[in-house]
Structure 1
Amino acid sequence: MFSLRYFSRRGLTLITTMLIMALMISACGTTETGNGNNNTETVQTATADPAQAVETNSVEESKVKTVSTINGDIEIPVHPQRIVAEEYLGSLIALDVIPVGAPGLTIKNYYFKESLEGLEDIGDYGNPSVEKIVALNPDLIITGNGDKSYEQLSKIAPTIVIPYGDLKNAHEELTYFGELFGKEEEAKTWLEEYDKRIATAKAKVDAAIPAEATFSIMEDGGKSIWVYGDNFGRGGQAVYQALGRKPPSGVAAEILEKQWAELTAEMVSKYAGDYIIMTSNSRTMDDYKADPIWGSIPAVNKGQMYVWPEERSWYYDPLAVLAQTEELAEWLSKKDR
């Protein structure tokens, strides 16, 4: 029989030998595996092309979705990066969606022109330069004048046509574009603040001006006079929508349906309300008071006419309407008008 002591020594020696061999095999294996891992990382690093990384990141940006338009269903990028906005620029800015190009007239918008430095001018409003738009390489075009240019524009990039007047107020515009760009919460937040400020402005006017007082929105073009409704700029959205005021009853239905009318000098008194919001680039309140025709109109004679230039009255986007409403409310609420 083997002694217990002898067995322990032999067992210990055997176990030690086996452990040493296992460690050697493990070390060899680790070296090979380690080299394999290092080689893989090197290959990955060596073949990691920045262009491929950009391509991978752009996969999300290149996703498309289908939207319904007056020209049928079209595919647009889920996250457009280079938008040309011939129209609705103010709504885009409210949602922090800054395009790469827009007409010069909208770029000069009195209410947000400082936010648009560097934006490319694509030409005349309603008649943009196709060449300038092509040069901007847009991935989405937004316009309100599709009847004139849709065929050309849609060949450049997916083009959404929203005819002028289809979106009738700030809520409709912000809600539409919030859904279009996946910014529903931003639109909701903006509109909540808008509603608060409009309510404050309206309360000031209601406290100072009788509810039955009528308002007219006019523009003096020198040789022609125009009167406007509630969705044609010149302060109509601010007065008729935001402040809830009405045109003279005898012409209200016509004006709110047609949205505009050209007047002769003899027609002015019929369309003149108790208050007149007048757009003129050349005449002042004193000029109107001194004019034989205008001076005989009660609103002018009483000083209940507000004269502002086209650069402030022409715009009708949500940002402009909010600012115009507060501006007019400040004037209307003054006791020393």
Structure 2
Amino acid sequence: MKKKSMYITSLMLALFLTVTACGNNNDNSAADTNEGQADSTNENAETERTLTDAMGHEVTVPAEPQSVIASYLEDYLVALDITPAAQWSVADGATVQGYLQDSLADVPTIPYDLPLETVTSFEPDLIIMDSAEMVEGNKYDQYSRIAPTYVVGTEQNNDWREELQKIGEVFGKEDEAAKVLEEYNQKVEETKEGLKASINDESIAAIWLVGNTFYIVNDALSSGDVLYNDLGVTPPNVVQEISDNSTANWSEISLEKLAELDADHIFLINSDGNGADALQDDIWQNIPAVKNGNIYEYAADDSSWLYTGPIANTKMLEDIKESLIK
């Protein structure tokens, strides 16, 4: 995807809830000689690294960060086998990135807007921010007083591949990041070939149902990026029109536009449950994909379809393969 918004997604998830109710240890003792202490200091200096972040800050990164706060970047950390000190959440921890919980189930939560006192309570030795928007005003100075703070991108939505590579650089895991990208690109090609053989040029839409209202994601973000950019799938006319005319990451589909949705296949991320009134409406029932039974439904709380990153996107590829490739 390559455009991704932590803020929009957090609002979407909050709405879902509303409507659905090892460090660099110094082994020198006090008895060490001055020479030994100097050797240790030099060793630390060699292992710490100073990097320039997206905003031009020179950030001294610990050799082996032990307590990392990287809200909404947990997907990237897990892909690189890094466990954060706390994980992104909405509504006092009630909602987390469910698809990551195999790796993060025991990790405490932190509010998505990263209150300073809460961040401080985790005693981080490194803070990573997704975008410049997260540290606007004097927030960067405040966070950097707590721990070295590295900003990954300047935009609200940054290319996820570039983000993965930058985070790999921060942790000295450039090779691991390159391997993750290589494996992802291979899955993309395999899935693309399978789709060509299975549905040829039939169209696909990903739709969210929240509070009896339907939403679609921009064609360059999250599932839109996976479907239309990575896999080269044909976007339905309505999806293309809304993406072309809206700057929002998530857009409500009016009943008028829903009636024009000519999708051959729909991935439905359903927050309302099977009994939702919107799913019984004639407008929904007359969409080609619905009439033909080409609906592939996922619960909103544990699927990866709301998110972006190497793990989220890989899981979407797996869902697409399971649903459409025989």
For the Cα contact (< 8 Å) 1:84–1:142, is it kept in 2? yes
User: Could you report, residue by residue, the CA deviation over 1:79-103 in whole angstroms, capped at 9, with x for unpaired residues?
Assistant: 3332101121111221122221222
1-structure distance, mates of 2:293, 2:154: 37
- Partner residue of 1:242 out of 193, 205, 230: 230
Cα drift, residue 165 of structure 1: 5.1
Aligned to 1:74: 58
Q: Paired residues, what number?
A: 284
Alpha carbons of 1:277 and 1:192: their partners in 2 closer, same or farther (altered >3 Å)?
same
Aligned to 1:9: none
Letter in 2 for 1:222: G
For the Cα contact (< 8 Å) 1:204–1:333, is it kept in 2? yes
Cα drift, residue 280 of structure 1: 0.9
Letter in 1 for 2:158: L
Aligned to 1:159: 149
1-structure distance, mates of 2:287, 2:45: 62
1-structure distance, mates of 2:155, 2:208: 20
For the Cα contact (< 8 Å) 2:59–2:149, is it kept in 1? no
Please identify the structure whose Cα radius of gyration is greater: 1
Alpha carbons of 1:90 and 1:188: their partners in 2 closer, same or farther (altered >3 Å)?
same
Letter in 1 for 2:124: P
Aligned to 2:310: 318
Letter in 1 for 2:187: R
Unpaired runs of at least 5, structure 2? 1-27
Q: In structure 1, the residue corresponding to 2:98 is in which secondary structure?
A: coil
Task: Determine whether 1:227 maps to 2:211.
Answer: no
Letter in 1 for 2:263: G
Q: In structure 1, the residue corresponding to 2:52 is in which secondary structure?
A: strand
Alpha carbons of 1:225 and 1:286: their partners in 2 closer, same or farther (altered >3 Å)?
closer
Alpha carbons of 1:117 and 1:285: their partners in 2 closer, same or farther (altered >3 Å)?
closer
2-structure distance, mates of 1:322, 1:147: 32
Q: Which runs of 4+ in 1 moved over 6 A?
A: 52-55, 285-289
For normalisation by structure 1, the TM-score amounts to: 0.72
Counting only pairs closer than 5 Å after superposition, residues 78-157 of structure 1 correspond to structure 2 as: 78-79=62-63, 80-104=65-89, 108-123=96-111, 125=112, 127-144=113-130, 145-147=134-136, 149-157=139-147
Unpaired runs of at least 5, structure 1? 1-43
Cα drift, residue 55 of structure 1: 6.4
Aligned to 2:207: 218
**RMSD of aligned C-alpha atoms?**
3.3
User: Could you report, residue by residue, the CA deviation over 1:146-187 in whole angstroms, capped at 9, with x for unpaired residues?
Assistant: 338545323322323335654324x32322222232211111
Letter in 1 for 2:310: P
Aligned to 1:168: 159
Cα drift, residue 204 of structure 1: 1.6
Aligned to 2:31: 47
Letter in 2 for 1:323: K
Task: Determine whether 1:278 maps to 2:275.
Answer: no
Task: Determine whether 1:204 maps to 2:194.
Answer: yes
- Partner residue of 1:183 out of 166, 173, 186: 173
Q: In structure 1, the residue corresponding to 2:316 is in which secondary structure?
A: helix
Alpha carbons of 1:226 and 1:151: their partners in 2 closer, same or farther (altered >3 Å)?
farther
For the Cα contact (< 8 Å) 1:101–1:121, is it kept in 2? yes
2-structure distance, mates of 1:248, 1:45: 68
Alpha carbons of 1:266 and 1:77: their partners in 2 closer, same or farther (altered >3 Å)?
same
1-structure distance, mates of 2:80, 2:239: 37
More helix by share: 1
Alpha carbons of 1:47 and 1:78: their partners in 2 closer, same or farther (altered >3 Å)?
closer
Aligned to 2:17: none
Aligned to 1:330: 322
For the Cα contact (< 8 Å) 1:198–1:242, is it kept in 2? yes
Letter in 2 for 1:199: E
1-structure distance, mates of 2:274, 2:231: 24
For normalisation by structure 2, the TM-score amounts to: 0.74
Question: Which structure exhibits the higher relative contact order, with contacts defined as CA atoms closer than 8 Å and separated by 6 or more residues?
Answer: 2
For the Cα contact (< 8 Å) 2:264–2:294, is it kept in 1? yes
2-structure distance, mates of 1:60, 1:305: 57
Aligned to 1:22: none
